[in-house]
Amino acid sequence: MWIFSLQGHYSNTDVSTLYLVKSSPKTLYHMITYYSQTTYKLWHFLPEAIREGKSQYERGFGISSKEVFEAIYRSEEEMLKFLYHMDTIWTICGKDIIQAFDLSVFCSVYDLGGCTGGLAKHFVSTYNETTVTIMDLPSVVQTAKKKFVTDEEQRIHFLEGDFFNDPIPEADLFVLARIIHDWTEEKCLNLLRKIYQSCRPGGGVLLVEVLLNEDRSGPLTSQLFSLNMLIQTEGRERTPTEYTKLLADSGFRDIEAKVTGKLYDVILARK
């Protein structure tokens, strides 16, 4: 009797059907499982991370944290979990990112560290003339081609490469979504200077990141993300002024930040 009564009372709400059911187009399933299985385990070592000022992969998973993405991609299974996790958010707020500025003037776009193409898909569906090339590590590109971007996807191309060590081809716009927050100031400056050299005159760079308030008093999500960057990478979240300085020191000008009201914000700078 009692069991029947329970069965009669529990069901998904519309919101949980939309965001928690794995088959929903807007599912957060992959993000939540990544946070619960990988991120949460590393957060057990928050005090150590703060004391040592470094990533905790060694303690959490017994793997060197010297090479950030070797640790994150420590097995094929882990890489795939991370890729699905990365892809999730763009089904929720990708359009807001791509439409925050009018990017229609940029015909050839390189999405550096563009991963699964989650953002690139919004780019080409918003701007009819734009071609986006995703440059990412070879194993990521191979998986993205197999599992995330179909052959029917028009105007999305791939380039296998290492943006720190390989040449970056010429383009009108370079997208760096959740890239700068992974790295030290020195590596960010090296990368941005390299991009500046490859950027056509009048072209630009688009940073997509969560922004900290100038006095670092919040928002709470950005503060938590910043701690997560400490625990999992070499980087941290930054304020608009810090991003402006990195971009200006790399040669860029006309730097403008736009708060989207969603999880991620956008900064556009021109050459």
Ligand X SMILES: C[S@@+](CC[C@H](N)C(=O)[O-])C[C@H]1O[C@@H](n2cnc3c(N)ncnc32)[C@H](O)[C@@H]1O
Residues that bind ligand X (CB under 6 A): 69, 86, 113-115, 118, 135-137, 140, 162-164, 177-179, 182
Q: Vertex 49, ends 47 and 54: CA angle to 5°?
A: 170
Q: Dig out the tokens for 220 from the structure.
A: 């709470």
For ligand X, which is the closer residue by CB, 113 or 240? 113
Give, in order, the Cα–Cα distances in Å from 196 to each of 27, 32, 174.
37, 36, 9
| Residue 88 C-beta: closest distance to ligand X, Å | 9
For ligand X, which is the closer residue by CB, 115 or 268? 115
Residue with tokens 């993000």: 31
Q: Is 85 annotated as catalytic?
A: no
| Residue 234 C-beta: closest distance to ligand X, Å | 11
d(CA 63, CA 194): 30
| Residue 2 C-beta: closest distance to ligand X, Å | 46
For ligand X, which is the closer residue by CB, 40 or 164? 164
For ligand X, which is the closer residue by CB, 129 or 162? 162
Which of 30, 85, 122, 181 does the annotation list as catalytic?
A: 181
d(CA 66, CA 54): 10
For ligand X, which is the closer residue by CB, 17 or 260? 260
| Residue 115 C-beta: closest distance to ligand X, Å | 3
Whether 118 contacts 90, CB under 8 Å: yes
DSSP H or E run through 247: helix 240-249
Cis peptide before 138 (omega within 30 of 0): no
Whether 191 contacts 199, CB under 8 Å: no
Select the residue whose beta carbon is closest to ligand X and give its number. Answer: 113
The neighbouring-strand residues paired with 207 are 176, 267
CB neighbour burial string for 70-86, b if at least 16 within 10 angstroms, e if fewer: ebbbbeeebbebbbbbb
Give, in order, the Cα–Cα distances in Å from 30 to each of 17, 27, 68, 69, 216.
15, 8, 21, 19, 29
For ligand X, which is the closer residue by CB, 166 or 254? 166
- The residues annotated with a catalytic role in the active site are 181
